[in-house]
Amino acid sequence: MSFVVSGAGLLPWRPHSESKSIKKLAKNHWRKTCRFHHFTQMANSGGGAVCNGNLHNHRKQSDGSQSGNYTENGTVKEAQQNGKPHIYKPFVEFFEEAPLHVMVFTYLGYGIGTLFGYLRDFMRNWGIEKCNAAVEREEQKDFVPLYQNFENFYTRNLYMRIRDNWNRPVCSAPGSLFDMLERVSDDYNWTFRYTGRIIKDVINMGSYNFLGMAARYDESMRTVKEVLEAYGVGVASTRHEMGTLDKHAELEDLVAKFLNVEAAMVFGMGFATNSMNIPALVGKGCLILSDELNHASLVLGARLSGATIRIFKHNNMQSLEKLLRDAVIYGQPRTRRAWKKILILVEGIYSMEGSIVRLPQIVALKKKYKAYLYIDEAHSIGSVGPTGRGVVEFFGMDPRDVDVYMGTFTKSFGSSGGYIAGRKDLVDYLRIHSHSAAYAVSMSPPIAEQIIRSMKLIMGLDGTTQGLQRVQQLAKNTRYFRQRLNEMGFIIYGNEESPVIPLLLYMPGKVAAFARHLLKRKIGVVVVGFPATPLAEARARFCISAAHTREQLDTVLEALDEMGDLLYLKYSRHRKSARPELYDETSFELED
Ligand SMILES: Cc1ncc(COP(=O)(O)O)c(C=O)c1O
């Protein structure tokens, strides 16, 4: 099995308002974690560390505290923070390659599906088979087709056969258990009919409810109810006009405090936070360097900006550095003028891979080549780091190392919307220039209150350690689930600390069988395939929650064990993959 190790330690910063008990709990938790990974704590006198013949200098933080990392065979080890003993923080990622025969059968499966697709399209064309897909109106028969193009081939002929596994109507809160409406199809998934029955208490392994904050109403949500009563739901105006509420100001102050940055701005929709703010930051003559697995909202924002976009291989520092170097050396095409700005776009946790961004390396690169860094923490905020502050805390880095923080409230906070945070200049600029501030209605007040409530819980501002316990429970559940899947012999991807856990299924037939069988056992899973993943890497994507009990996880694991045998899914041979090796060769050192 391949793995990459790098690391960080305890958080170098923490909001003043945090209670002592929270600090203690977080510290103990990470001590335990470190023991679990057989890493030890040790005192360090500071100074440079020599590994593999390279000298890696310790970083002097501007607040006067000392911090240092050194690398060894791709290992980054936290050396010292705030004069305290340092802690080795493991960073372990797995990307095992499938055995050859699995790949052969997967492509064969798609090949056969494609052949039958052509045959059926031919029959539909000649009226031999009924065409259920959208068709052109009779009077537009000689127009270029609006719907029936080749891109729909995959949807029409493959996706339709297994469509029952997606868009299932849920009729409860997305807690660790949820209810689903039963539906059946009489025409091979072209249409569905509800039976009127409810499938109750399905174990929910697919919602992004990492900290269990999305739940049906209970007394802890009282303030949300009060805000609903006082403000209503709709704001009916944009932030620039009548839509800036005191609740928005309160939330923005809290987000800035949570992230330990100067300022933050919130938006009504996470997707629009990316797609509408990136164009406000870069434009023509600028260069965007985007990870190949970035979310569609980042891709759309990049395209809308008009900037030149270049893609680097997922989390691959060699690939990113080559693009940065070329950008600096050659400048813009034809004119060879320097790029106005270079913006690196990455995510904290990649939602299809379960991988965590290699932030220390990216920060080193961005400093070296004087580029800006925009990080989307949709999945990582609240879900990683000793106190849930995301990847900067996970790596024990300085929050000022990132230029633009973006995140959503739709996952760990059980709410809706997104934020941009960072320096006050940046946020002030976006308040004026962001399309989603100028032209979109602002965040609904009860939605804002739900975020405030959740964030205060995580920060311990409610006077309890409940929020922190959830962060720790999530980490525990994640490690347990990943470890058990590994032991069973499944190929799972991603970082061992990532609560997003992809389990590789590969073959399209198995994707459908997997989800259908599990639903029969009252386990709801998300399965994903092309175009969200590479064609031959269809997978199930589990999202672990702090709300999952050990009993629920064991029920799921037992079912997966049986499913793995039934469908021959235990492909792991604990072999090395080619992917991580590419990550490590760079010309830079971690600390500059
Ligand atoms: C990385 C990333 N960014 C942005 C978004 C969009 O956020 P939202 O669903 O809150 O609109 C998502 C959604 O899952 C995401 O995964």
pLDDT tens for the chain, 592 residues long, are 333 333 333 233 333 344 445 455 555 544 443 333 333 232 333 333 323 323 233 333 333 333 333 333 333 333 333 434 334 456 788 889 999 999 999 999 999 999 999 999 899 888 898 888 777 788 887 888 777 666 688 888 889 999 999 999 999 999 999 999 999 999 999 999 999 999 999 999 999 999 999 999 999 999 999 999 999 999 999 999 999 999 999 999 999 999 999 999 999 999 999 999 999 999 999 999 999 999 999 999 999 999 999 999 999 999 999 999 999 999 999 999 999 999 999 999 999 999 999 999 999 999 999 999 999 999 999 999 999 999 999 999 999 999 999 999 999 999 999 999 999 999 999 999 999 989 999 999 999 999 999 999 999 999 999 999 999 999 999 999 999 999 999 999 999 999 999 999 999 899 999 999 999 999 999 999 988 888 899 999 999 999 999 999 999 999 999 999 999 999 998 765 545 544 555 565 555 4
Q: Going by DSSP bridges, is the β-strand pair 342-347/372-376 parallel, antiparallel, or unpaired?
A: parallel
pLDDT at position 79 is: 34
Q: Does residue 492 belong to any structural domain of this protein?
A: yes
At 215, which amino acid appears? A
pLDDT at position 135 is: 74
Query: Are residues 471 and 574 both part of a single domain?
Result: yes
Q: Does residue 265 belong to any structural domain of this protein?
A: yes
Print the domain residue range for 156: 92-204+466-592
pLDDT at position 92 is: 81
Query: Are residues 20 and 76 both part of a single domain?
Result: yes
Domain finish residue from 403, 437, 459? 459
Q: Which atom of ligand 1 is nearest to the CA of 417?
A: 10
Angle CA 51–52–57, to nearest 5: 40
Residue 531: is the preceding peptide bond cis (ω within 30°)? yes
Would you call 283 helix, strand, or coil by DSSP? coil
pLDDT at position 138 is: 82
Contact 287, 327 (CB under 8 A): yes
Query: Are residues 360 and 426 both part of a single domain?
Result: yes
Q: Structurally, how many domains does the chain consist of? A: 3
Domain finish residue from 459, 475, 509? 459
pLDDT at position 150 is: 66
Query: Are residues 311 and 301 both part of a single domain?
Result: yes
Contact 549, 203 (CB under 8 A): no
Contact 555, 203 (CB under 8 A): yes
377 lines ligand 1 (CB under 6 A): no
Distance in angstroms (rounded) separating the CA atoms of residues 454 and 73: 40
Q: Whose CA is nearest to atom 15 of ligand 1?
A: 378
Which tokens in the block code for residue 533? 């993943």
541 lines ligand 1 (CB under 6 A): no
pLDDT at position 588 is: 57
Neighbouring-strand partners of residue 75: 72
Q: Does residue 178 belong to any structural domain of this protein?
A: yes
* pTM (two decimals): 0.84
Query: Are residues 411 and 428 both part of a single domain?
Result: yes
Task: Kindly report the backbone phi and psi dihedral angles of residue 134, in degrees, each rounded to the nearest multiple of 5, phi listed first.
Answer: -60, 135
Q: Does residue 61 belong to any structural domain of this protein?
A: yes
Query: Are residues 532 and 442 both part of a single domain?
Result: no
Task: Kindly report the backbone phi and psi dihedral angles of residue 578, in degrees, each rounded to the nearest multiple of 5, phi listed first.
Answer: -75, -20
Query: Are residues 77 and 142 both part of a single domain?
Result: no
415 lines ligand 1 (CB under 6 A): no
Domain with 483 in it: what CATH number?
3.90.1150.10
How many C-alpha atoms does 503 have within 13 Å on its Cβ side?
A: 31
Domain with 383 in it: what CATH number?
3.40.640.10
Query: Are residues 234 and 344 both part of a single domain?
Result: yes
Distance in angstroms (rounded) separating the CA atoms of residues 56 and 528: 41
Q: Does residue 581 belong to any structural domain of this protein?
A: yes
Neighbouring-strand partners of residue 527: 540
Domain finish residue from 34, 65, 90? 90
572 lines ligand 1 (CB under 6 A): no
Neighbouring-strand partners of residue 178: 202
Please provide the distance, in angstroms rounded to a whole number, between the alpha carbons at the two ends of the chain. 32
Query: Are residues 451 and 314 both part of a single domain?
Result: yes
Contact 171, 181 (CB under 8 A): yes
Please list, in sequence order, all residues whose beta carbon lies within 8 angstroms of the beta carbon of residue 139, skipping any fewer than 6 positions away: none
Query: Are residues 11 and 49 both part of a single domain?
Result: yes
pLDDT at position 586 is: 59
Please list, in sequence order, all residues whose beta carbon lies within 8 angstroms of the beta carbon of residue 525, skipping any fewer than 6 positions away: 205, 206, 514, 515, 518, 519, 540, 541, 542
At 391, which amino acid appears? V
User: Based on the number of CB atoms within 10 Å of its own CB, is 527 exposed (0-12), middle (13-18) or buried (19 or more)?
Assistant: buried
Query: Are residues 450 and 504 both part of a single domain?
Result: no
Distance 271 CA to ligand 1 centre (A): 5
Q: Which atom of ligand 1 is nearest to the CA of 350?
A: 1
Q: Which atom of ligand 1 is nearest to the CA of 297?
A: 4
Distance in angstroms (rounded) separating the CA atoms of residues 325 and 337: 15
Contact 319, 582 (CB under 8 A): yes
Contact 502, 493 (CB under 8 A): yes
Task: Kindly report the backbone phi and psi dihedral angles of residue 181, in degrees, each rounded to the nearest multiple of 5, phi listed first.
Answer: -80, 135
Q: Going by DSSP bridges, is the β-strand pair 287-291/308-312 parallel, antiparallel, or unpaired?
A: parallel
Q: Does residue 210 belong to any structural domain of this protein?
A: no
Query: Are residues 525 and 454 both part of a single domain?
Result: no
Q: Going by DSSP bridges, is the β-strand pair 500-506/538-543 parallel, antiparallel, or unpaired?
A: antiparallel
Distance in angstroms (rounded) separating the CA atoms of residues 52 and 377: 33
Q: Whose CA is nearest to atom 6 of ligand 1?
A: 271
Please list, in sequence order, all residues whose beta carbon lies within 8 angstroms of the beta carbon of residue 477, skipping any fewer than 6 positions away: 499, 544, 545, 546, 548, 553
User: Based on the number of CB atoms within 10 Å of its own CB, is 42 exposed (0-12), middle (13-18) or buried (19 or more)?
Assistant: exposed
At 46, which amino acid appears? G
